[in-house]
Structure 1
Amino acid sequence: MSLETITNTILEFIRANQGYAPLIVGLMTFGESFAFISLVLPMVTILVAVGFALAAADIIFWHVWLGATIGAFVSAWVSYEIGYKVKKRAYGIWPLSRKPDLVDKGERFFQRFGPWAMFLGRFFGPTRAVLPLIAGIFMMPRVLFQAANMASASAWSFALLAPGAGLAHYLTW
């Protein structure tokens, strides 16, 4: 089986199931941004490739971007609420209990940048998963957290999906 055959088969599958694309990408961004899942199943590279595949399959970018944004937003919100409820006990829960250096880095970053940490942290691998939890532990005001969460989820989702979508669009002309 040739690479072209495999590629065409995948694209046909995506086209046939394009109604599920926003949901699937939303679940992927949820997993990538959630405090505990992200440390085990990093998906950033896959999400960048998804942008290309979706564009190549002629799926509307903005629908998928909205799904990705919602997934990233909800996961950070849930992580924040967990941190708000359990406080520092969250550090003892696996996998954070096995990665104390990650928690320390996230905590220092949050203390240094305050509310901007939530926005900026979304763009840096391990901090993306831990900062919402830490924001909850430190009881960051919900309004500030949600404003930074929505802005960063929107920008991050765009930054992941747009390069592949733009390149695919460029290559098809």
Structure 2
Amino acid sequence: MDIEFLKTSILEFVQNHKSYAPFVLGLMTFAESLAFVSLLLPTMTILIAVGFVLAAADIPFWQAWAGAVCGAFLGNWLSYEIGQRYKKTAYELWPLSRNPKLIARGEAFFQRFGPWAVFLGRFFGPIRAVIALIAGIFLMPQVLFQAANLASASVWAFIILAPGAGLAHYVLW
């Protein structure tokens, strides 16, 4: 298969459907930030590559970023609510029931950094999957959680999309 044909096909598809880009990015970051799902669906490398495609398709960065922030924010929020609602019984659900070390690492991280754990946890793969859930289980105050959640979602979305979007101008043209 010709790489140039593949590149052209992908770019044409994205350009023809560019109005859906923020929504699709939101779904991807929602899945990446949602407890349980993010363990099964690691989309981090895909999201970095998406930055290249978005820039090549002339989709404004701020639109893509806003979609990514919304998805990441909502995914963590839902995880937090699950933790508040189900407490430690959430640990008994698959895949967490098969990863007790992940739970222990998340709890230790949360105990060590408190509210900062929510912000910092977003940037560490396996911990990202459980830190919001643990914040809910430990009944972290909603205001503190949401402040850390929004701040981390905003910075994280920028960090995952900016390299591809910025380098695309040098690599693709």
TM-score clears 0.5? yes
RMSD (Å) for aligned C-alpha atoms? 0.8
Matched, 1:43 2:39: no
Q: Deviations over 1:19-77 (max 9, x none)?
A: 00000010000001100110001000000000011001111110010000000000000
Aligned twin of 2:121: 121
Q: Which runs of 5+ in 2 are unaligned?
A: none
Aligned twin of 2:160: 160
SS of the residue aligned with 1:82? Answer: helix
Aligned twin of 1:148: 148
Alignment of 1:25-36 (within 5 A): 25-36=25-36
Specify the code of the residue in structure 1 equivalent to 2:162: A
Matched, 1:96 2:93: no
Q: TM-score, normalised by structure 1?
A: 0.98
Deviation of 1:129 after TM superposition, in Å, equals: 1.2
Count of residues in correspondence between the two structures = 173
Specify the code of the residue in structure 2 equivalent to 1:81: E
Aligned twin of 2:8: 8
Deviation of 1:172 after TM superposition, in Å, equals: 5.0
- Alpha-carbon distance between aligned partners in 1 of 2:170 and 2:119, rounded to the nearest angstrom: 30
- Alpha-carbon distance between aligned partners in 1 of 2:20 and 2:97, rounded to the nearest angstrom: 35
Deviation of 1:171 after TM superposition, in Å, equals: 3.4
